[in-house]
Amino acid sequence: MKLIIHGGFFSESEQSSEIKLAKQNSLKNIARLAFEYLQHHSAFDAVAYAVSLLENDPLYNAGIGSQIQSDGIIRMSAAIMDGETQKLSGVINIQGVKNPIEVAKKLIIEDDRVLGGVGAKNYAMENGFENFSTEIPQRRKEYNEKLKSNGKGTVGCVAIDKNGKLAAATSTGGKGFEIPGRISDSATVAGNYANPFCAVSCTGVGEDIVSNATATKIVTRVTDGMTLENAFQKTFEELKAIDGFAGVIAIDNHGNIYHANSYPTMVFASFDGKNFEVFH
Protein backbone atom coordinates (compact mmCIF):
# COMPACT_ATOMS: atom_id res chain seq x y z
CA MET A 1 0.00 0.00 0.00
CA LYS A 2 1.32 3.35 -0.96
CA LEU A 3 0.16 6.66 -2.34
CA ILE A 4 1.50 9.88 -3.69
CA ILE A 5 -0.39 13.17 -3.98
CA HIS A 6 0.39 16.48 -5.62
CA GLY A 7 -0.77 20.03 -5.07
CA GLY A 8 0.25 21.43 -8.43
CA PHE A 9 2.85 24.11 -8.87
CA PHE A 10 3.48 27.11 -6.71
CA SER A 11 4.36 30.44 -8.24
CA GLU A 12 7.86 31.88 -8.13
CA SER A 13 6.74 34.47 -5.58
CA GLU A 14 5.83 31.68 -3.18
CA GLN A 15 9.28 30.06 -3.35
CA SER A 16 10.11 30.65 0.31
CA SER A 17 6.82 31.94 1.57
CA GLU A 18 4.38 30.97 4.26
CA ILE A 19 2.08 29.64 1.57
CA LYS A 20 4.71 27.18 0.44
CA LEU A 21 5.18 26.01 4.00
CA ALA A 22 1.42 25.78 4.50
CA LYS A 23 1.15 23.69 1.33
CA GLN A 24 3.88 21.32 2.51
CA ASN A 25 2.16 20.84 5.86
CA SER A 26 -1.23 20.41 4.26
CA LEU A 27 0.12 17.81 1.79
CA LYS A 28 1.78 15.88 4.57
CA ASN A 29 -1.40 15.85 6.59
CA ILE A 30 -3.57 14.81 3.63
CA ALA A 31 -1.10 12.09 2.56
CA ARG A 32 -1.30 10.66 6.08
CA LEU A 33 -5.11 10.81 6.25
CA ALA A 34 -5.45 9.29 2.78
CA PHE A 35 -3.03 6.51 3.66
CA GLU A 36 -5.05 5.66 6.77
CA TYR A 37 -8.13 5.54 4.56
CA LEU A 38 -6.32 3.33 2.02
CA GLN A 39 -5.75 0.71 4.69
CA HIS A 40 -9.46 -0.11 4.69
CA HIS A 41 -10.49 0.94 1.19
CA SER A 42 -9.64 0.31 -2.44
CA ALA A 43 -7.17 2.49 -4.33
CA PHE A 44 -10.17 3.79 -6.30
CA ASP A 45 -11.96 5.02 -3.16
CA ALA A 46 -8.73 6.31 -1.63
CA VAL A 47 -7.64 8.50 -4.56
CA ALA A 48 -11.09 10.14 -4.58
CA TYR A 49 -10.86 10.68 -0.83
CA ALA A 50 -7.37 12.22 -1.10
CA VAL A 51 -8.43 14.53 -3.90
CA SER A 52 -11.59 15.60 -2.05
CA LEU A 53 -9.42 16.61 0.93
CA LEU A 54 -7.21 18.59 -1.42
CA GLU A 55 -10.31 20.20 -2.98
CA ASN A 56 -11.46 21.22 0.50
CA ASP A 57 -8.25 23.13 1.19
CA PRO A 58 -8.34 26.67 -0.29
CA LEU A 59 -4.57 26.57 -0.76
CA TYR A 60 -5.02 24.68 -4.02
CA ASN A 61 -6.56 25.43 -7.36
CA ALA A 62 -9.27 22.78 -7.18
CA GLY A 63 -12.65 22.72 -5.44
CA ILE A 64 -12.61 25.56 -2.89
CA GLY A 65 -10.05 28.06 -4.08
CA SER A 66 -10.37 27.29 -7.79
CA GLN A 67 -9.13 29.85 -10.28
CA ILE A 68 -11.59 32.34 -11.74
CA GLN A 69 -11.88 32.26 -15.53
CA SER A 70 -11.76 35.25 -17.87
CA ASP A 71 -15.51 35.92 -17.61
CA GLY A 72 -15.45 35.92 -13.79
CA ILE A 73 -16.89 32.41 -13.43
CA ILE A 74 -15.33 29.37 -11.78
CA ARG A 75 -15.48 26.13 -13.74
CA MET A 76 -13.86 22.97 -12.47
CA SER A 77 -12.79 19.68 -14.02
CA ALA A 78 -11.95 16.36 -12.41
CA ALA A 79 -11.50 12.72 -13.34
CA ILE A 80 -10.92 9.40 -11.71
CA MET A 81 -9.66 6.19 -13.30
CA ASP A 82 -9.85 2.69 -11.91
CA GLY A 83 -6.77 0.75 -12.99
CA GLU A 84 -8.48 -2.60 -12.64
CA THR A 85 -11.55 -1.95 -14.78
CA GLN A 86 -9.74 0.68 -16.85
CA LYS A 87 -12.80 2.92 -16.67
CA LEU A 88 -12.42 6.68 -16.49
CA SER A 89 -15.19 9.02 -15.39
CA GLY A 90 -15.10 12.77 -15.08
CA VAL A 91 -16.66 16.20 -15.13
CA ILE A 92 -15.54 19.04 -17.35
CA ASN A 93 -16.25 22.70 -16.53
CA ILE A 94 -18.71 21.97 -13.76
CA GLN A 95 -19.91 24.97 -11.69
CA GLY A 96 -21.16 25.33 -8.13
CA VAL A 97 -20.27 22.04 -6.45
CA LYS A 98 -17.83 21.60 -3.60
CA ASN A 99 -16.15 18.39 -4.71
CA PRO A 100 -15.98 17.80 -8.47
CA ILE A 101 -14.02 14.57 -7.85
CA GLU A 102 -16.98 13.11 -5.95
CA VAL A 103 -19.27 13.85 -8.90
CA ALA A 104 -16.67 12.24 -11.21
CA LYS A 105 -16.58 9.20 -8.94
CA LYS A 106 -20.37 8.90 -8.89
CA LEU A 107 -20.35 8.80 -12.71
CA ILE A 108 -18.25 5.61 -12.81
CA ILE A 109 -21.41 3.47 -12.69
CA GLU A 110 -23.00 5.22 -15.68
CA ASP A 111 -22.76 4.40 -19.37
CA ASP A 112 -22.19 8.12 -20.01
CA ARG A 113 -19.22 8.73 -17.80
CA VAL A 114 -17.74 12.12 -18.73
CA LEU A 115 -20.17 15.02 -18.49
CA GLY A 116 -19.58 18.68 -19.27
CA GLY A 117 -20.94 22.02 -18.08
CA VAL A 118 -24.66 22.26 -17.35
CA GLY A 119 -25.18 18.53 -17.86
CA ALA A 120 -22.57 17.77 -15.22
CA LYS A 121 -24.15 20.22 -12.79
CA ASN A 122 -27.64 18.82 -13.41
CA TYR A 123 -26.36 15.30 -12.82
CA ALA A 124 -24.77 16.43 -9.53
CA MET A 125 -27.98 18.11 -8.36
CA GLU A 126 -30.04 15.04 -9.25
CA ASN A 127 -27.66 12.82 -7.34
CA GLY A 128 -27.63 14.46 -3.95
CA PHE A 129 -24.82 17.00 -4.30
CA GLU A 130 -25.43 20.48 -2.93
CA ASN A 131 -25.08 23.80 -4.62
CA PHE A 132 -21.84 25.29 -3.32
CA SER A 133 -19.75 28.35 -4.19
CA THR A 134 -16.07 27.45 -4.29
CA GLU A 135 -14.92 31.04 -4.58
CA ILE A 136 -12.54 32.45 -1.97
CA PRO A 137 -11.85 36.20 -1.55
CA GLN A 138 -8.22 35.78 -2.55
CA ARG A 139 -9.16 34.48 -6.00
CA ARG A 140 -11.60 37.34 -6.56
CA LYS A 141 -8.87 39.78 -5.51
CA GLU A 142 -6.48 38.21 -8.00
CA TYR A 143 -9.14 38.32 -10.63
CA ASN A 144 -9.99 41.95 -9.92
CA GLU A 145 -6.37 42.93 -10.05
CA LYS A 146 -6.13 41.01 -13.31
CA LEU A 147 -3.26 39.15 -11.79
CA LYS A 148 -2.72 36.07 -13.79
CA SER A 149 -1.47 34.10 -10.81
CA ASN A 150 0.03 31.32 -12.94
CA GLY A 151 -2.86 29.06 -12.03
CA LYS A 152 -0.79 26.07 -11.23
CA GLY A 153 -2.25 24.43 -8.18
CA THR A 154 -4.23 21.51 -9.54
CA VAL A 155 -4.36 18.45 -7.27
CA GLY A 156 -4.02 14.72 -7.80
CA CYS A 157 -3.42 11.34 -6.22
CA VAL A 158 -2.28 7.93 -7.40
CA ALA A 159 -2.39 4.88 -5.13
CA ILE A 160 -1.86 1.15 -4.87
CA ASP A 161 -4.05 -0.75 -2.41
CA LYS A 162 -3.49 -3.92 -0.39
CA ASN A 163 -4.69 -6.04 -3.32
CA GLY A 164 -2.21 -4.42 -5.68
CA LYS A 165 -4.90 -2.45 -7.54
CA LEU A 166 -4.11 1.00 -8.87
CA ALA A 167 -6.11 4.20 -9.37
CA ALA A 168 -5.57 7.86 -10.30
CA ALA A 169 -7.60 11.01 -9.57
CA THR A 170 -7.05 14.62 -10.61
CA SER A 171 -9.00 17.85 -10.00
CA THR A 172 -8.51 21.43 -11.20
CA GLY A 173 -10.03 24.87 -11.39
CA GLY A 174 -8.24 25.34 -14.72
CA LYS A 175 -5.35 27.67 -15.43
CA GLY A 176 -7.05 30.95 -14.60
CA PHE A 177 -8.22 33.61 -17.06
CA GLU A 178 -8.90 31.03 -19.74
CA ILE A 179 -11.43 31.48 -22.51
CA PRO A 180 -14.75 30.13 -21.16
CA GLY A 181 -15.25 26.60 -22.46
CA ARG A 182 -11.57 25.68 -22.48
CA ILE A 183 -11.05 22.03 -21.62
CA SER A 184 -8.00 21.24 -19.53
CA ASP A 185 -6.08 17.97 -19.44
CA SER A 186 -7.33 16.97 -16.00
CA ALA A 187 -10.46 15.13 -17.09
CA THR A 188 -8.75 13.46 -20.06
CA VAL A 189 -6.52 10.42 -20.37
CA ALA A 190 -3.59 12.75 -21.09
CA GLY A 191 -3.80 14.14 -17.56
CA ASN A 192 -5.18 11.22 -15.57
CA TYR A 193 -4.68 7.59 -16.53
CA ALA A 194 -4.45 4.19 -14.87
CA ASN A 195 -4.42 0.51 -15.77
CA PRO A 196 -3.32 -2.64 -13.87
CA PHE A 197 0.36 -1.70 -14.39
CA CYS A 198 0.62 2.00 -13.65
CA ALA A 199 -1.35 5.09 -12.54
CA VAL A 200 -0.48 8.71 -13.37
CA SER A 201 -1.78 12.20 -12.47
CA CYS A 202 -0.52 15.39 -14.12
CA THR A 203 -0.49 19.13 -13.47
CA GLY A 204 0.83 22.03 -15.54
CA VAL A 205 -0.29 23.61 -18.78
CA GLY A 206 -3.20 21.49 -20.00
CA GLU A 207 -2.51 22.16 -23.67
CA ASP A 208 1.07 20.88 -23.32
CA ILE A 209 -0.05 17.80 -21.40
CA VAL A 210 -2.70 16.97 -24.00
CA SER A 211 -0.29 17.57 -26.91
CA ASN A 212 2.24 15.30 -25.25
CA ALA A 213 -0.38 12.72 -24.15
CA THR A 214 1.68 12.59 -20.98
CA ALA A 215 -0.21 10.25 -18.61
CA THR A 216 -1.19 7.83 -21.37
CA LYS A 217 2.35 7.59 -22.69
CA ILE A 218 3.89 6.91 -19.29
CA VAL A 219 1.32 4.24 -18.44
CA THR A 220 1.67 2.60 -21.87
CA ARG A 221 5.45 2.58 -21.66
CA VAL A 222 5.40 0.97 -18.23
CA THR A 223 2.82 -1.57 -19.45
CA ASP A 224 5.16 -2.46 -22.32
CA GLY A 225 8.02 -3.14 -19.91
CA MET A 226 9.86 0.13 -19.35
CA THR A 227 10.77 1.14 -15.82
CA LEU A 228 8.93 4.13 -14.40
CA GLU A 229 12.13 6.13 -14.51
CA ASN A 230 12.78 5.37 -18.18
CA ALA A 231 9.15 6.01 -19.10
CA PHE A 232 9.35 9.41 -17.40
CA GLN A 233 12.65 10.21 -19.03
CA LYS A 234 11.42 9.52 -22.55
CA THR A 235 8.10 11.26 -22.04
CA PHE A 236 9.74 14.35 -20.52
CA GLU A 237 12.25 14.48 -23.41
CA GLU A 238 9.27 14.62 -25.76
CA LEU A 239 7.61 17.25 -23.57
CA LYS A 240 10.77 19.32 -23.64
CA ALA A 241 10.81 19.18 -27.43
CA ILE A 242 7.52 21.10 -27.45
CA ASP A 243 8.66 23.35 -24.58
CA GLY A 244 5.98 21.80 -22.41
CA PHE A 245 5.24 22.65 -18.81
CA ALA A 246 4.12 19.74 -16.64
CA GLY A 247 4.52 17.98 -13.33
CA VAL A 248 3.67 14.30 -12.97
CA ILE A 249 3.26 11.72 -10.20
CA ALA A 250 3.05 7.98 -10.83
CA ILE A 251 2.94 4.60 -9.13
CA ASP A 252 3.45 1.16 -10.66
CA ASN A 253 2.07 -2.24 -9.70
CA HIS A 254 5.23 -3.05 -7.71
CA GLY A 255 4.57 -0.03 -5.51
CA ASN A 256 7.38 2.07 -7.02
CA ILE A 257 6.58 5.75 -7.05
CA TYR A 258 8.05 8.42 -9.28
CA HIS A 259 7.62 12.13 -9.90
CA ALA A 260 9.10 14.76 -12.16
CA ASN A 261 8.42 18.32 -13.22
CA SER A 262 9.69 20.33 -16.11
CA TYR A 263 10.07 23.34 -13.78
CA PRO A 264 11.00 22.43 -10.22
CA THR A 265 8.11 24.08 -8.40
CA MET A 266 5.63 21.28 -7.98
CA VAL A 267 4.52 20.41 -4.45
CA PHE A 268 3.89 16.79 -3.60
CA ALA A 269 3.98 14.27 -0.78
CA SER A 270 4.12 10.50 -0.66
CA PHE A 271 3.50 8.14 2.22
CA ASP A 272 3.86 4.38 2.58
CA GLY A 273 2.88 4.02 6.22
CA LYS A 274 6.44 4.60 7.41
CA ASN A 275 8.15 7.24 5.36
CA PHE A 276 7.05 10.65 4.19
CA GLU A 277 8.59 12.35 1.24
CA VAL A 278 7.50 15.97 0.97
CA PHE A 279 8.88 18.14 -1.77
CA HIS A 280 9.21 21.81 -2.39
70 is in an annotated binding site: no
Binding to ligand ASP by residue 8, rule CB under 6 A? Answer: yes
Candidates 89-97, 171-179, 225-233, 266-274; binding stretch for ligand ASP (CB under 6 A): 171-179
Does residue 61 belong to the site contacting ligand ASP (CB under 6 A)?
Answer: yes
65 binds ligand ASP (CB under 6 A): no
**Nearest by Cα to 149 from 136, 162, 132:** 136
Give the C-alpha separation, 180 to 74, whole Å: 9
Angstrom distance (rounded) from CA 146 to CA 148: 6
What gap in Å lies between CA 134 and CA 132, rounded to an integer? 6
Strand 155-160 versus strand 114-116 pairing type = unpaired
The answer to the question of whether 211 is labelled as a binding residue is no
List the one residue from 153, 188, 222, 270 that touches ligand ASP (CB under 6 A): 153
**214 near ligand ASP (CB under 6 A):** no
Is 203 annotated for ligand binding? yes
Say whether residue 204 binds ligand ASP (CB under 6 A): yes
Q: Which residues of 35-66 are buried (b: 16+ CB within 10 A; e: fewer)?
A: bebbeebbbbbbbbbbbbbbbbbbbbbbbbbb
Q: How far is the CB of 277 from ligand ASP (least distance, A)?
A: 21
What residues form the annotated binding site?
A: 182-185, 203-206
Chain residues in the site for ligand ASP (CB under 6 A): 8, 61, 151-154, 172, 174-175, 184-186, 203-206
What residues form the annotated binding site for substrate?
A: 182-185, 203-206
